[in-house]
Amino acid sequence: MIQKSEEAKAAECDPSPHEVEASRKVRLVRGFTFEAAHRLPGAGEGHKCRRLHGHSFRVEIVCEGEIDPTTGWLMDFADMREKFAPLLEQLDHRYLNEIDGLSNPTAENLARWIWVRLRPVLPCLTQVSVAENCQGRCEYRG
Ligand SMILES: [Zn+2]
């Protein structure tokens, strides 16, 4: 009798998969890369980033929402690429300082610049991240 009681107790703590409530919330991350030159006029006198130089920038855009019961996805990754494409065209193989709104193109300002232009056409956008190298990145959440 005691053993049966313990089994019943264990069952309460470990419900069968059929009894688990799983949310439909998901987070999609789509990455992009582009090459560009910039200089950072706000860096201190003598700082190496004041000089003209380039990076292989890496951008990630993140969308969050619920899985559509019909399609089985939040959105098509191809749609994320399509929404970002016009911005990528403005950034790739450019001198970023010449772009309207990017006179001081730090990773932070670039992430914000992307957010402001992407959010209106991609309402599920919750984060934009920008990395200039493998050591670190800026994450912007609006
Ligand atoms: Zn740089």
Report pLDDT digits (tens) over 109-138.
999 999 999 999 999 999 999 999 999 999
- Decide if pLDDT at 98 tops 50: yes
- Extents of the domains making up the chain: 23-140
CB atoms within 10 A of CB 76: 11
- Decide if pLDDT at 3 tops 60: no
- Decide if pLDDT at 1 tops 50: no
- For domain 23-140, the question of CATH label 3.30.479.10 is answered with yes
Q: What pLDDT is attached to residue 94?
A: 98
Kindly give the distance from the C-alpha atom of residue 70 to the centroid of ligand 1, in angstroms, as a whole number: 44
Active site residue 49: yes
Position with higher pLDDT, 57 vs 10: 57
pTM score = 0.85
Q: Which of 53, 66, 89, 93 is catalytic?
A: 93
- The pLDDT of 32-38, averaged and rounded, is 98
Kindly give the distance from the C-alpha atom of residue 132 to the centroid of ligand 1, in angstroms, as a whole number: 7
Q: State how far the alpha carbon of 118 is from the alpha carbons of 1, 40, 99, 112, 127, in Å.
A: 63, 24, 16, 10, 10
Kindly give the distance from the C-alpha atom of residue 80 to the centroid of ligand 1, in angstroms, as a whole number: 26
